[in-house]
Structure 1
Amino acid sequence: MGVLAFDLGASSGRAVAGRLNCGLLTIEEIHRFSNIPVQLPGHLHWDILNLFREIKQGLLKSRSLGYPLQSVAIDTWALDFGLIDRKGELLGNPYHYRDGQTEGMMDQVFEVISREEIFSRTGIQFMPVNTLYHLFAMKRNRSHLLEQADRFLMIPDLLRYFLTGEAYTEYTNATTTQLFHAGSRTWDTRILGLLDIPAHLFGSIIQPAAFAGTVLPSISKELSLPPLPVIAACEHDTASAVVAVPTVDRDFAYISCGTWSLMGTELSEPLLSPKALGYNFTNEGGIGGTYRFLKNIMGLWILQECRRIWEQENKPFTFPDLIEAATHARPLQAFIDPDHLTFLRPDHMPEQIMQYCRDTKQPVPHSEGEIVRCIMESLALKYRMVLEMTEELTGKKFKGLHIVGGGSHNSMLCQFTANAIARPVWAGPAEATAIGNIIVQYMAHEQIGTVREAREIVKKSFPLVTYEPDDADEWNDAYARYRSLIG
């Protein structure tokens, strides 16, 4: 028997079937679809009903697998949510985390409760896209949605609710909201109360690898499927990806690399020191009581946005086209800080990159290849900076860096990262989030015992590519310039 993972990212989703046989895991993608947000007058939204339609399409296609399924589970990006009314119906389309309603909200929140207290309670880094600031904006704007709501559900919770009729909030995703107490592992009623966000919206927490319901009879009948159990995987996609890091080491560093780059390590307790606050690190919940101590980096969103703009300008480049063009550009000429707020939601990403270089008195990249190379080198140098911060904060020294997720296919980024950190980079598996989702389902079925056992299975089941560092002097010089540039 197999299991089915729905893995939804900020730009696409997929249904991946997995089978465990004699200690080896095999996976098969059976459905892939786009996740395209919708800009309406005034707000940016997720098309949540279309995403649920695609989940049903994936279930429909699972009938042709040739073997029965034991269960299904969903993981998605973090932060975003839907609101359910007292009749159990969805109120409006969920806002996209890049929606502009949070502009200025962080400062307004800090007038009520300090950064220091928020971090000491939640352990979560400060970003304007955080759930807290969206809810606070809705409260300040007297949103009728918030006034009518009876239940807050994050995106995977909401899709699971549509599938089963059961409303739970999964732990790893709840921890990302900046509304969850890191010590007590419950909703933080003090923060909710101070910000006048209705506490009754926040319901029961369910842990990863727990059974969370069964596919509704009406959906089973519609799709001619048996009543499948639904598992709460690690429903934050990064939490799933970290489960699938192919290592047997207790201390390891990783990047879950995609639209965002989430870089850090795994700890047994949250790290809430003043320096962790100063470096704006985060402590997100993981499986088995662990914490993902990490930092969010803007990631390949910048490249994706450049490609989108170029497509609008009748330059339909593939990603391999852009990487090939970048190989012919002069190395280490100009850099950006990927996390600068000007890159969060610009109207024209290539122009914004050029403007940043002008403003910082660097050579300005003009061609597509020069811009792409600037992005790739800047990400690699930012990774080195964050790796050094991670080691300083934790007191650990890492032998190298694991890159999992779609970015592990980007050989230029992986090699540049190895060069920047002067250590090996181990790339793969690319489908780490789906694999982690599948593994947690097998843990729910007691066919995998521990996370260590799971990681050994991943290491045996999927090939890795090792990138050794090169050009050390040039990259050390570039890093010194990068540090002086972004401070």
Structure 2
Amino acid sequence: MKRVAAVDLGASSGRVMLGSVGDGVLELSEIHRFWNGPVQVHNTLHWDILHLYRSMLEGLHQAGPVDAIGIDSWAVDYGLLDSTGHLLANPTHYRDTRTDGVLERVLEKVSVAELYEVTGLQQLPFNTIYQLAAEGLLEQADKLLMIPDLLAYWLTGEIGVERTNASTTQLYDVRARGWSEVLASRVGVSMKLLPDLRDPGAVIGTVLPETGLAAGTPVIAVGSHDTASSVVAVPAADERFAYISSGTWSLVGLELDAPVLSDEARAANFTNEGGVDGRIRFLKNVMGLWILQECQRIWGDDDLPGLLRDAAGVQPFAVLIDPDAPEFLAPGNMPARIDEHCRAGGQEPPQSKAAVVRCVLESLALAYRRTLRSAQVIADRPVDVLHVIGGGSQNELLCQLTADACGLPVLAGPVEASALGNVLVQARALGEPLPDLSAMRALVRTTHRLRRYEPRAKPADWDAAESQVFGTR
């Protein structure tokens, strides 16, 4: 039996989870949960990285002696070290406005077609390449570390970047599986800034004495982009599956053996991100439950079960929005933005909290439907079942709406998919007989309860709703 600690950092909270893996055993328990979120200082949104490090250490101490430690987090954000190994500044949050208008400036140096041909990435204004173009500290910086790699560096003193997170930077050649010197040069990023790359399963190093952790404990590189870890734990029985990693963001896509770099994929704005064991996560970012979370924050209402019960009784398709509209990206008064969005589109805004919730969830389901249908056509990969993993898998109304919209059975769970994927990769590195993703997923299936949702709505109703929101786009 292997006993490992998974540090799993989301965009709103972090946790240290204790995982046990053995013959027919995959257990997970929460040791320590802590807040994570943006801190605004002089009109800049930062991550409180020292708080995250301290909270991670607190959780690791509470976990006691473990066989290994692995860290995963959200993508694209980074810390910059100077030549002495010190952090130059708190990492900037990807929702900060510093990248406003930067994408257009970068595209004057390198075309959209060239970027996609090399990186296969979805164009998002907060991709690392655009953050670096807006960065004021590059001349002082010696090394760039993605968030999990920065925390691993503080634990071990070892510098490097794990591949699945590197693949989200738009500086990574998705076919060569390495940094793109050509792109870095074109946008003014020195190659010395980009450290050597690590594969999931590699031992990064052992914990430093100053951490107070058990001497010799290895820190193992996992799928350090939390979605890469999540997809490891998709309990799929064969290849004909799609997934939605559902949380603050919804990552909607397929798992492939090779990137899809066609003009059609680029026009549809799909991304090809690295996965564990060299797989490709062919997916698209959909805004996700962020909109609902911000509504709840503004309302001061944390009774999500009550809101969902009320929303289930609201008339279907009364009001719909495009959840990926740019006005929903930044923090703020989301109910007011929904109101303005509806009025601009000629709709009467929702008149109650329940109506807002129904509007948001139906609109998300429509976005999932549109994304999955495009993914299957572009990648030439038919799908028989849709797995919803992560925190959103607990949202019964959203799961049923997703099954109805997509016309596919939905299997919901596991909730803690990213932590489970983190644990599984560590266990394999420590010698557990989990030779491939199929073996890992089989263990998830046999040890975790899943809930199945069958489609029960008329497809024509969803066709009409999709036309209402997206028209012929």
- The reply to whether TM is greater than 0.5 is yes
**Deviation of 1:321 (Å):** 2.5
* Bigger shift: residues 420-429 or 471-480: 471-480
Q: How does 1:82-101 map to 2 (within 5 A)?
A: 82-101=79-98
For residues 21 and 443 of structure 1, what CA distance do their matches in structure 2 show? 10
Unaligned runs of 5+ in 2: none
Instruction: Give the direction of change, closer, same or farther, for the CA distance of 1:296–1:18 in structure 2 (3 Å limit).
Output: same
- Give 1:187-202 correspondences, 5 Å limit: 187-202=179-194
TM-score, scaled relative to structure 1:
0.95
Deviation at 1:324, TM superposition (A): 2.2
Counterpart in the other structure of 2:442: 456
| 1:274 equivalent in alignment to 2:263 | yes
Q: Does 1:125 align with 2:122?
A: yes
Amino acid in the other structure paired with 2:453: Y
1:136 and 2:136 are equivalent in the alignment:
no
Match of 2:223 among 216, 234, 237: 234
C-alpha displacement of 1:363: 2.6
Q: Tell me the residue number matched to 1:482.
A: 469
Is 1:79 aligned to residue 76 of structure 2?
A: yes
Q: Is the CA contact 2:245–2:390 (under 8 Å) kept in the aligned structure 1?
A: yes
SS at match of 1:33: strand
Q: 2:102 — aligned with what? A: 105
Matched, 1:340 2:337: no
2:210 equivalent in structure 1: 218
1: CA distance between counterparts of 2:402 and 2:466?
12
| AA partner of residue 26 (structure 2) | L
Deviation at 1:396, TM superposition (A): 1.7
Q: Which residue of 1 aligns with 2:147?
A: 155
SS of aligned partner of 1:94 = coil
Match of 1:25, SS? strand
Give 4+ residue runs of structure 1 displaced > 6 Å after superposition: none
Report how far residue 194 of structure 1 moved. Answer: 1.1
Could you tell me which of 403, 408, 429 is aligned with 1:444?
429
Corresponding residue SS for 1:212: strand
Q: CA deviation at 1:435?
A: 0.1
Which residue identity is paired with 1:205? L
Q: Does structure 1 residue 306 correspond to structure 2 residue 295?
A: yes
* Aligned amino acid, residue 84 of structure 2: K
- 1:317-376, CA deviations, whole angstroms, 9 ceiling, x for partnerless residues? 322232123123222111111111111115311111111111111231121111111000
Say whether 1:244 aligns with 2:236.
no
Cα distance in 2, alignment partners of residues 256 and 435 from structure 1:
13
- Letter of the structure 2 residue corresponding to residue 227 of structure 1: G
Distance 2:270 2:37 in 1: 29
**Distance in 2 (alpha carbons) for counterparts of 1:131 and 1:18:** 31
Alpha-carbon deviation of 1:157? 0.4
Alignment partner, residue 311 of structure 2: 326
3-state DSSP of counterpart to 1:230:
strand
Distance (Å, rounded) in 1 between the aligned partners of 2:22 and 2:222: 20
**Aligned-partner Cα distance in 2 for 1:61–1:317:** 28
The 1-side partners of 2:88 and 2:163 are apart by 23
Residue 285 (str. 1) matches residue 274 (str. 2): yes
Q: Where does the alignment leave 5 or more consecutive residues of structure 1 unmatched?
A: none
Deviations 1:220-244 (A, max 9, x none): 3xx5x33311000100000000000
> How do residues 292-441 of structure 1 correspond to structure 2 at under 5 angstroms?
292-311=281-300, 316-345=301-330, 347-441=332-426
Cα RMSD after superposing both structures: 1.2
Report the alpha carbon displacement of residue 446 of structure 1 after superposing the two structures with TM: 2.4
Equivalent residues of 2:322, 2:470 under 8 A apart: no
Aligned mates of 1:380, 1:187 — CA distance in 2:
36
> Residues 211-268 of structure 1, C-alpha deviation per residue, up to 9 Å, x if partnerless?
0011101213xx5x33311000100000000000001212310010001000111111
Length, aligned pairs only: 470
Task: Tell me how far apart the structure 1 counterparts of residues 349 and 229 of structure 2 sit (CA, whole Å).
Answer: 39
Q: Does 1:69 align with 2:66?
A: yes
Contact kept? 2:294, 2:331, Cα under 8 Å: no
Tell me the alpha carbon deviations over residues 73-130 of structure 1, each in whole angstroms, 9 at most, x when there is no partner.
Answer: 0000000000001111001100000010000011111111110000001000100011
Other structure's SS at 1:176 match: coil
The residue number in structure 2 matching 1:206 is 198
Aligned partners of 1:475 and 1:282: how far apart in 2?
26
- Comparing 183-192 with 157-166, which one deviates more in the overlay? 183-192
- What whole-Å deviation, never above 9, does each CA across 1:391-438 have from its counterpart, x for those lacking one? 110112111210000000000100000111112100000000000000
Q: By how many angstroms is 1:476 displaced? A: 3.5
Distance in 1 between the 2:186 and 2:425 partners? 36
Contact 1:346 1:352 in 2 (8 A): no
Q: Is the 8 A contact 1:251 1:266 kept in 2?
A: no
Q: Pick from 457, 462, 470: which aligns with 1:471?
A: 457
Q: CA deviation at 1:24?
A: 2.2
User: How many angstroms apart in 2 are the aligned matches of 1:256 and 1:217?
Assistant: 36
- Taking only the aligned residue pairs, the percentage that are identical comes to 47
Choose which of 253, 262, 272 in structure 2 pairs with 1:264: 253
**Which SS does the other structure have where 1:69 is aligned?**
coil
1:150/1:201 contact within 8 Å kept: yes
Aligned to 1:255: 244
TM-score by length of 2: 0.97
Query: Which SS does the other structure have where 2:319 is aligned?
Result: coil
CA distance in 1, matches of 2:219, 2:253: 30
